[in-house]
Structure 1
Amino acid sequence: MKIVHFTSVHHVYDTRITIKECSSLQNYGHDVRLIAAHDKNELVGGIQVIGIGKGPKHRLARMLVTTARVFRECLKQKADIYHYHDPELMPIGLLLKWLGKRVIYDVHEDVPRDIYSKFWIPGWLKKPVSLCVEATERFVAKRMDAIVPATPYIANRFRTYNPHTYEIQNFPLLDELVSLEVEVNDNENKSGEMNYIAYIGSISEVRGIKDTMECLEQLNLVMPVRLLLGGDFSPPALLDEVRQLRGWQYVDYRGRVDREQFREMMAQSKVGLVVLHPEPNFMMSQPNKLFEYMSASVPVLASDFPLWKLIVEGNQCGMCIPPMQPHLMTQAIQYMLEHPEETRRMGENGRTAAATQYNWQPEGRKLNELYERLMRPHTRLEPDPG
Structure 2
Amino acid sequence: MRILVVTVVHHPEDARILHRQIATLREHGHQVLYAAPFAARRAVPRPDVEGLDLPRAVGRDRRAALRAARTLLADRGPEVDVVLLHDPELLLALPGTLRRWRRAGRAPVTVWDVHEDTSAALAMKRWVPALLRPPLRAAVRTAERLAERHVRLLLAEDAYQERFRGTHPVVPNLPVVPRAHPAPPGPDRAVYLGHLSRARGALDLIETARLLAPEVRVEAVGAADPDVRDALTAADREGVLRWHGYQSNDRALALLSGALAGLSLLHDQPNYRHSRPTKVVEYMAHGVPVVTTPNPLAADLVERHRCGLVVPYEDPAAAAMAVRRLRTDADLRLGSAERGRDAALAELDWAARGADFVDRLERWVKESADTVAV
> Cα distance, 1:347 vs. partner?
0.8
Aligned alpha-carbon RMSD (Å): 2.3
> 1:44 is paired with a residue of what secondary structure?
coil
Identity of aligned residues (%): 24
> Cα distance, 1:289 vs. partner?
0.9
Aligned to 1:383: none
Aligned to 2:186: 190
> Cα distance, 1:169 vs. partner?
0.4
Aligned residue among 172, 183, 206 for 2:199: 206
Matched, 1:297 2:296: no
Q: CA 1:219–1:17 in structure 2 vs 1: closer, same or farther (change >3 Å)?
A: same
Cα distance in 2, alignment partners of residues 315 and 284 from structure 1: 19
Instruction: State whether residues 9 and 58 of structure 2, in contact with CA within 8 Å, keep that contact through their aligned partners in structure 1.
Output: no
Most deviating of 78-87 and 35-44: 35-44
Cα distance in 2, alignment partners of residues 246 and 370 from structure 1: 45
Aligned to 2:138: 131
Aligned residue among 33, 51, 54 for 2:53: 51
Instruction: State whether residues 32 and 49 of structure 2, in contact with CA within 8 Å, keep that contact through their aligned partners in structure 1.
Output: yes
Cα distance in 2, alignment partners of residues 283 and 58 from structure 1: 24
Structure 1 residues without counterparts, runs of 5 or longer: 381-386
Aligned to 1:27: 27
> 1:376 is paired with a residue of what secondary structure?
helix
Instruction: State whether residues 191 and 256 of structure 2, in contact with CA within 8 Å, keep that contact through their aligned partners in structure 1.
Output: yes
Q: CA 1:248–1:315 in structure 2 vs 1: closer, same or farther (change >3 Å)?
A: farther
Aligned to 1:76: 75
Q: CA 1:55–1:215 in structure 2 vs 1: closer, same or farther (change >3 Å)?
A: closer
Aligned to 2:324: 334
Instruction: State whether residues 177 and 349 of structure 2, in contact with CA within 8 Å, keep that contact through their aligned partners in structure 1.
Output: yes
Most deviating of 4-13 and 90-99: 90-99
> Cα distance, 1:51 vs. partner?
1.5
Cα distance in 1, alignment partners of residues 174 and 126 from structure 2: 28
Aligned to 1:256: 246
Cα distance in 2, alignment partners of residues 33 and 190 from structure 1: 42
Cα distance in 2, alignment partners of residues 203 and 251 from structure 1: 14
Pairs within 5 Å for 1:1-386 = 1-39=1-39, 43-44=45-46, 46-52=48-54, 54=55, 59-60=60-61, 63-77=62-76, 78-98=79-99, 99-100=101-102, 101=107, 102-144=109-151, 146-158=152-164, 160=165, 162-163=166-167, 165-175=168-178, 179=180, 183=182, 186-187=183-184, 190=186, 195-220=188-213, 224-234=215-225, 236-244=226-234, 249-377=239-367
Cα distance in 1, alignment partners of residues 32 and 232 from structure 2: 41
Amino acid at match of 2:71: R
Most deviating of 200-209 and 63-72: 63-72
Q: CA 1:9–1:57 in structure 2 vs 1: closer, same or farther (change >3 Å)?
A: closer
Q: CA 1:57–1:290 in structure 2 vs 1: closer, same or farther (change >3 Å)?
A: closer
Instruction: State whether residues 60 and 128 of structure 2, in contact with CA within 8 Å, keep that contact through their aligned partners in structure 1.
Output: no
Q: CA 1:13–1:143 in structure 2 vs 1: closer, same or farther (change >3 Å)?
A: same
Amino acid at match of 1:190: G
Instruction: State whether residues 228 and 251 of structure 1, in contact with CA within 8 Å, keep that contact through their aligned partners in structure 2.
Output: yes
Q: CA 1:58–1:283 in structure 2 vs 1: closer, same or farther (change >3 Å)?
A: closer
> Cα distance, 1:81 vs. partner?
1.0
Cα distance in 2, alignment partners of residues 157 and 36 from structure 1: 27
Give the TM-score normalised by structure 1. Answer: 0.86
> Cα distance, 1:237 vs. partner?
4.0
Q: CA 1:65–1:299 in structure 2 vs 1: closer, same or farther (change >3 Å)?
A: same
> 1:88 is paired with a residue of what secondary structure?
helix
Most deviating of 258-267 and 225-234: 258-267
Cα distance in 2, alignment partners of residues 303 and 56 from structure 1: 30
Amino acid at match of 1:171: L
Amino acid at match of 1:50: L
Q: CA 1:379–1:157 in structure 2 vs 1: closer, same or farther (change >3 Å)?
A: farther
Structure 2 residues without counterparts, runs of 5 or longer: none
How many residues were matched structurally?
360
> Cα distance, 1:58 vs. partner?
5.5
